[in-house]
Amino acid sequence: MKIELPAYAAAIINRLEAAGHEAYVVGGCVRDAVLGRTPKDWDVCTSALPEQVIACFADERVVPTGAAHGTVTVILDKQPVEVTTYRVDGSYSDSRHPDSVRFTPRIQEDLARRDFTVNAMAYHPRRGLVDPFGGRQDLKECRIRCVGEPTKRFEEDALRILRGARFASVLGFVIDPPTLQAMNGLAGRLCHVSTERIWTEWSQLVCGKRAGGVLSALEPVCAAALPGWPLPRVPQAFAALDRLPPLPGVRLAALYAGFAGTEQAMRDLRAPKKIIAQVALLAAEAAMPVPDNMPDVRKLVFRCGRENSEQVLAIMTAFEQNAQRARQLLDECQENHLCCDLANLAISGRHVARLVQDPQQTGALLEKLLMAVMEEQVPNEKGPLIALAKQWTA
């Protein structure tokens, strides 16, 4: 097979080879190219030692990002490329990082240390694909499988458990049974992974096209990685995930629907503040009854805003609740510009301030008037609203 390399990646390989070294593109970029996807990044592996790589690119910007472990970043044509020396990893005493590495002149040894077969392929423009572990066949059969013994791979680096789940979810693959068994059996080792890394993997995993199917097979992993497990609507949520738009806030809200501690759980996951607020709001609203009349739909918009209201109804629909009428009412609400917030109320604080004894009561009075408008007790017009305010404060 032939992979079209970008000019800057090909130039790095050519320059290393001109200096007497071996070099290939490797890992995720090869996987994506074989799948017909456009790689986001191109990584290079080489027989050259880090100091030899630096010498080869003395006239270019080179950053020694991980030189002790064999990696330097070469900036060529304004594109950063990680160039890593073939290596064999030592023991992993912290279940995350190798205690030491040994450089090797053989690419097969470097590929043997990698996590999954689909990531253990290398490519050279003239020599073609190097695939000693059957990664191309696993891509063809849509399978995630460990390189070598799965238990050893996950004992070395527990983050690989979530990486494998993410790959399966995002690519729409199944997990090879021995690999799946080891992931669940060693889920407790995720305690060695930083919360920040868990969030990074989880926010992508949950948005994959097979998120529900993958997670339903990995409940021990969910229990180890997600605060608050087991969650109230887990079986339904797994089925619902793949029916929802691939947005982390929306899909996490489906998982946490009806869970009282959602906001704290998102904080424990170190989610961004915007996601924390959205998940807490959507998870609470999605556990409520489906609104079936215009006043209730308007109140939903008041509490959530238009966009979040649409997501609440999407989650309800994904849970196989009939929200069709609520969607129609939401559309009517927008088309008719119905008032659902204080900004669109026909009066403001200055109109009612003199009617209350304590100025701090002004906001409460306005909100009460807004509720009356949304419940269709009074039209959203200045005169009727002031008259109602006077009646309430007389």
Per-residue pLDDT at 355:
87
Residue 26 belongs to domain with CATH number: 3.30.460.10
What is d(CA 388, CA 133) in angstroms, rounded to the nearest whole number? 77
- What is the number of domains present in the chain? 2
| 187 lies in some domain | no
Long-range contacts, 333-339 (Cβ 8 Å, 24+): 333/294, 333/297, 333/298, 333/301, 334/306, 338/294, 338/298, 338/374, 339/298, 339/370, 339/373, 339/374, 339/380
CA distances from 79 to 9, 82, 209, 294 (A): 9, 10, 30, 54
The answer to whether the predicted template modeling score (pTM) of the entire model surpasses 0.85 is yes
d(CA 126, CA 22): 12
* Pair of tokens at residue 280: 């807490």
Q: What is the pLDDT of residue 356?
A: 85
Look at residues 138, 171, 197 and tell me which one is the last residue of a structural domain.
138
Confirm whether 119 is domain-assigned.
yes
Residue in 197, 129, 123 with CA at minimum distance from that of residue 160: 197
Asked if residue 301 lies in contact with residue 309, where contact means CB atoms within 8 angstroms, the answer is yes
> Residues 316-368: pLDDT tens digits?
999 999 999 999 999 999 999 999 999 999 999 999 888 887 888 999 999 99
Give a yes or no: residue 1 inside a domain: yes
* Domain limit, last residue, from 138, 154, 169: 138
Per-residue model confidence (pLDDT) at position 94: 87
**pLDDT per residue as tens digits for the range 308-326:** 999 999 999 999 999 999 9
In a domain, 115, yes or no: yes
Structural domain contains residue 265: no
Residue at 313 is within a domain: no
- Residue 130 resides in a domain: yes
The two structure tokens encoding residue 195: 């919360």
Range of the domain at 54: 1-138
- Examine the fold and report which residue of 138, 156, 184 is the final residue of a domain before the chain moves on: 138
Within a domain: residue 348? yes
